[in-house]
Structure formats: C-alpha cells, structure tokens
Amino acid sequence: MKFIFVTGGVVSSLGKGLTAAALGTLLENRGLKVALQKFDPYLNVDPGTMSPYQHGEVYVLDDGAETDLDLGHYERFTSTKLTRMNNLTSGQVYQTVLNNEREGKYLGKTVQVIPHVTDEIKRRIDLLAETSKADVVITEIGGTTGDIEGLPFLEAIREFALESGIGNTCFIHVTYVPFIKAAGELKTKPTQQSVAKLREIGITPNIIACRCEKPLDKELRQKISMFCNVPLEAVIEAKDVDHSIYEMPLMLQRERMDDLVCRLLHLTTPAPNMAHWQEIIRKLIAPAHRVRVGVVGKYIGLQDAYKSVYEALIHGGIGNDCGVEIVQVDAEEIEKHGAPAKLGGLGGILVPGGFGERGIEGKILAAKYARENKIPYLGLCLGMQIATIEFARNVLKLDKAHSTEFDESSPHPVIALLDAQKKVTKKGGTMRLGAMPCQLALGTKAAELYGSFVIQERHRHRYEFNNHYREKFEKAGFVFSGTSPDNKLVEVIELKGHPFYVASQFHPEFLSKPHQPHPLFKGFIAAAHQTIHHKPLYSI
C-alpha cells in the first residue's frame, strides 16, 4: 500500500483539498483504488458545531459524520464513499487519547504528544488503509506549515513515512507563488521559506505544487527546484483555473503530476483515460444553453457556506448541457426590497438549508414568489420547511403558521421538533444525521426524476413536517411525494399544477457529482431552462 501526504504552505485556502481530490481522479483513472482522508488540526471534535463564518459548509456523509467540506471534493472527484474514518480532528485525537488514559490503557506511563498523540494519528492512517483496501491513501493535512497546532500531525506523518520504507510514501507540498504587481514578477521566496520550515520538521517534499496567477516560467521552476531541493519536473505549476475547478485533474495531468507520483511510488499503471472528464469541461466552457438561477440564503457573502449546493447546480447544468449562472441573493435583501426586485428574471429559485431566524421571512417571500409565478423552485432541508410555512400561511390561511424553531408559540406549528430530538441537550452530532431510506409515491415528479421508488439520501436536521397538518395540505394540492418507509416522516413535497416545485427534507446536494448530476438538480435546471425559454425575451 502506498501513501501520499499533502501539506500546505504560505497561506490557507490554496486548494490543497482540490489538489488532493484532482490527483485522486487521475490515479483512479489509472485503475488504482484510492482512499482520501483529511486531518484538521483544530480542537473541535467535528465541524458540526461551527458557524459557517468559521468553517464554511459542513459536509455530511452516509454514516452521519459531519465533516470538512474538502471531503465533498473527495466524493465529487472520485468514486470513493467516505465515512467518519476519513476526517480526523485534533479534538478527536485528544478525546481518544484522554479516554485511553482514563481507562488505564497507557499502563502508568506519562501521556505525551510524542508518542501517544502521534501514535493515535498514525493509527488512523493505518485504519483507513486497512478498511479501505485502497492501493493509494491520500492524506491531506489541514492548516499551514508553521502553525503550532499542526505540528503533531506533521511529526506523525514524518514518522509514518520513515516506518513505511523507501518508495512507499510521497510528500506533496502545495504553496503559493504570489505575483507582485509593482515588480511585475512572480516571487518564490515564501515557497522557499515554507519548504525550509517543513524540512526543519524533518519532511522533505517530493513534489511542490505552486499555486499562481501567472504561468511559472522555466527560470522560476529552476529556482524553486534548486532552493527547495526537488527535481525540476517535481515543480508543478498549479495556475488558477480559467473556468472551473473540474479543470484541475486535466491541469495536473498536463504537468505530469500523476506520472511522477506513480514513478515515486513504483506504481506501474497505464496513462489515465480522461475523455469523459474532457467532455465535462467542454460542457462547462461551451454549453449549448445557459440559465440563471437564484440561491436565497443568509450566508451569501461567504464563498464556502453553500459549496455543495453551488456544485450540484453546476452538475445539474452539465446534465442538461446548460451553463448555470448562480445569482446569490441575500434573504434579508428580499425582506427590504421585495421578491420581484431581487428575483425577477431568474429561471429558478433555490432555498438551501439553514439554521436560525435571520432572513427567514425573506426566504418565505422567495418561496411565495416562485409558487405564484410558476418559477421552478427547489427547496433543500430548511428550504422544504420554508415552502411548507409559506403554503400554510398563504394558501391554507393558517395565521402565523411557523416552525417551532423560530416561533415556539405559533398557533400553527406546521414544522415541529422531531420526537427523537425532544430530549436532546447536547449540540454536537445530535441531529437526525446521515443516509436514510425514503419511499417515493407513484406518479410524482420526484419518482419520475429519480426513476425509482426507494432512494437513500443524507440528512442533517432537527425539525420535520408536523403530521397533524398532512390532510389539510394534501387537500389543497400539496403533494407528499416522499416519506420515510414507515410513512411517519415527510421527506419530499411538491406542488400540483406547478412546472417544478420540489423540496426535500434531506440534502441531495451531498450526492451529486459532475459525471453523475443529482436527479433533483438535473430536473430543476431543465425546468429553469424551459421557463426562461417560454417567456418573452423582455421579461428575462
């Protein structure tokens, strides 16, 4: 078994996760079984309790693990199914070590960062290697080289590499080569210093992936090669992609990164066949159609808060050979200026998941606008709850209908706490989480889109549709197209007589991939494209 470690230098947000994922794509297309794993040096046990401002999206896995959004890249770029084994935080490491200590497992020894913390980190690499039976395990270390909190992880991978023997491990360091406008030059010094920092710890990178805005010329490559102690061919240009993150595998392939990795790890495989990936890029760069859809949220300024939603919309576009322009609409702006001003001319409206009261009324206005004007609507988790509240208030005339999350004394709590949630007091990992089966009803839009009656989708919520109101809703044309197999929980709703008004209690965005667009997103984009097409031009 072979191991690749991806570290980052100079600054954060360099796209280490994307680099790891894109390398995974290439290795998988060489016929290798790949497993990907992320180590996060923060002390939270998982990111489930962190604000999107701190962390961006929380990515949910089948087994209910709440993980880092890089795991979303891993699943979108490769065919690996991830579990909670694939994301390790310092919080988890210390929790395990301290539990072991309390149980007397260290036999009276002084418990220390080295070896106890580092051993636990190494154990987790081995564990993934064993359970995944992969040919190659790629481990990404979060944070930036030089951070105090990242040191135990770097020490652990140094030891791991030493113990694995020659030719079995490879270190890739992703760094930044800034372009200094005043000098009109790319600068290599920060890269040199961050590599020096790594070598101080005892890690010599085999490959340096240089994130840069401009191409790296030969001279610069030679300089990085010389001062960072890597062969010239191991200096990889990772220039900002022109159109889409999905160009990354092709870009790394052009730089022969996969070839080099295979040589370093003594892996003999054929060159990857990337024809299908090239077709995806073709559809992204020159799509046959184009459509604009709005995402109505409260974390609109944050690039990462709705990552998987944005990606799934793009995939829905690929599935329709349709370029998707995403218009990010702040729900509070709708409250101030009204829905027509903010949503007019859009082909579709999507309300994603969310927590907390801010912007809720704006989202309700968006759902109303989509329903009344027959604009395609896709609601995800909170987006389904919003559609329910809107319908209750404006169609069923249930005054002050609400979710008890936002108004505990609502006379019509059409969305209420799940029974299982009523006694929950702890915050971390206690929602209804992970993949659950859902039964779709015959003759519904959902069943038509999925082409199946039983599906599995990932969840992350505490509240649900209040069954007390089911009949009333049904009579007025609100269709319960998906429920839990015991029919106790509403999972998908849609509206009769609307071209596309579908909302799910689960999060379909977590299961979409560029080469396998999720059916709900594919259907939503198809409907959005049709709506725009059937409207007179002046209203676009």
The binding site for ligand GLN (CB under 6 A) comprises 353-355, 381-382, 405, 460-463
Q: Coil, strand or helix: which one is 75?
A: helix
Compute the least distance from the CB of residue 463 to ligand GLN, in Å: 3
Q: Coil, strand or helix: which one is 484?
A: coil
Which of the residues are catalytic? 381, 507, 509
Q: What share of the chain is helix, strand, coil (3-state, %, to 5)?
A: 40, 20, 35
| 484: Cα separation from own chain's centroid | 25
Of 166, 172, 232, 224, nearest to 23 by C-alpha is: 172
Tokens of 124: 């987790």
d(CA 87, CA 71): 8
Compute the least distance from the CB of residue 269 to ligand GLN, in Å: 40
* SS3 labels along 490-533: EEEEEECCCCCEEEECCCHHHHCECCECCHHHHHHHHHHHHHHH
Nearer to ligand GLN, 42 or 355 (CB): 355
Nearer to ligand GLN, 70 or 405 (CB): 405
d(CA 334, CA 338): 5
Nearby residues of 242 by Cβ (< 8 Å), 6 or more positions away: none
Q: Coil, strand or helix: which one is 212?
A: strand
Helix ranges restricted to H, 373-503: 382-394, 445-450, 470-475
Compute the least distance from the CB of residue 407 to ligand GLN, in Å: 13
For 102-167, give the DSSP string: HTTTTTTPPP-IIIIIHHHHHHHHHHHHHHH--SEEEEEEPS-TT-GGGHHHHHHHHHHHHHH-TT
Task: Evaluate whether 124 touches 152 at the Cβ level (below 8 Å).
Answer: no
Q: Coil, strand or helix: which one is 24?
A: helix
Task: Evaluate whether 74 touches 20 at the Cβ level (below 8 Å).
Answer: yes
Compute the least distance from the CB of residue 261 to ligand GLN, in Å: 37
Which residue is nearest to ligand GLN, using beta carbons?
353
d(CA 4, CA 252): 15
Of 124, 123, 132, 157, nearest to 35 by C-alpha is: 132
Compute the least distance from the CB of residue 92 to ligand GLN, in Å: 23
Q: Distance of CA 503 to CAs 125, 132, 273, 376, 482, Å? A: 39, 34, 37, 11, 10
The residue to which tokens 């961050």 are assigned: 194
